[in-house]
Amino acid sequence: MVTDKIAALYRILLLYEDVAGGVVSTTEDDYIAYCNRIAVRFSAINQEIAETVEGLALMGMRLPHHTVRSCVLHVTNLMERQLGGDD
């Protein structure tokens, strides 16, 4: 389902915000591990999405919020366009 894939991508931003906001239950390692899992999941669907998410994982928390947000919104838009909207 398109909404499941978009939600999985959007969760990257939510995890980033949790780590940046000091949520004790979410660590940078959690954020990076999730990004890596999502990159693998999307590697068979869309290479640009997979590479962007891999880049987020590599940069970790060194990226500012606006950059992570921009990347996440970009890949969610790509996914929506590729799969033709919402199911």
Question: What tens digit of pLDDT does each residue of 12-25 get?
Answer: 999 999 999 999 99
pLDDT band at 31 (very low <50, low <70, confident <90, very high): very high
- Residues 6+ positions from 60 with CB-CB distance below 8 Å: 28, 31, 32
- Residues 6+ positions from 20 with CB-CB distance below 8 Å: 61, 65
pTM score: 0.92
